[in-house]
Structure 1
């Protein structure tokens, strides 16, 4: 079964994303900030990380940078999931190592298409 780590400081967003991902046959784990997410990636690397931009402790961009600096058996795909819609934000995320970008609010079809683009659906 494919695995996804949902990283968002909003419990509601994590719950919605979990529900959608489980209908797409993903095993889902959750983190409330980038630091917790990084620890979880080092313990058991997921296939994909659904990553929020603005979070306490460690932001999505800080997580992406740190993810590139840790030694993992393989790098998970990273899909930024955020309300930041400016082309500058999207470009910065892709340049920092994100594989895809989805806007909040999202639905099942949108998320499924982004996962397909990164090769996981």
Structure 2
């Protein structure tokens, strides 16, 4: 599945979910990066190209909705919210703040893979780390 060098970034503080998703995506030829906290996510996004962020809504001591909002303010990398919060309102809020898709736990790994592929089809290119983005200048 990996048609580029950009990684799929999984942001979750549940070691079982991280292990399951990492193994599943690697078995489908994906490069995977993991973060357990928001600041770790932002640090990885500054240094590595990521094609998609799979972001848990309920990280210990952090709010995935707030992290998505912060991420969306500086990056166009696609975001799939992953959460046990399956209420209609939660899904709508996630999409309104900038998530590209939303999937609830428990989830089918093949469905998540299909959603990742769909999000990647809709996105133009992977988000580049800040130090690799082209600079535009105007004037003389």
Alignment TM-score, normalising by the size of structure 1: 0.87
Match of 1:51 in 2: 55
Distance 2:28 2:92 in 1: 28
Q: In 1, are the aligned partners of 2:57 and 2:81 still within 8 Å (CA)?
A: yes
CA RMSD of aligned residues (A): 1.5
Matched, 1:16 2:20: yes
> What secondary structure, in the 3-state scheme, does the structure 2 residue paired with 1:105 have?
coil
2:68–2:99 contact (8 Å) kept in structure 1: yes
Q: In structure 2, what is the Cα distance between the partners aligned to 1:77 and 1:118? A: 7
Structure number, greater radius of gyration? 2
Where structure 2 has 5 or more consecutive residues not aligned to the other structure, the ranges are 122-140
Mapped pair 1:112 → 2:113: yes
Q: What is the deviation of 1:58?
A: 3.0
1:2 Cα offset (Å):
4.1
SS in 1 for 2:59: coil
The yes-or-no answer on 1:40 pairing with 2:16 is no
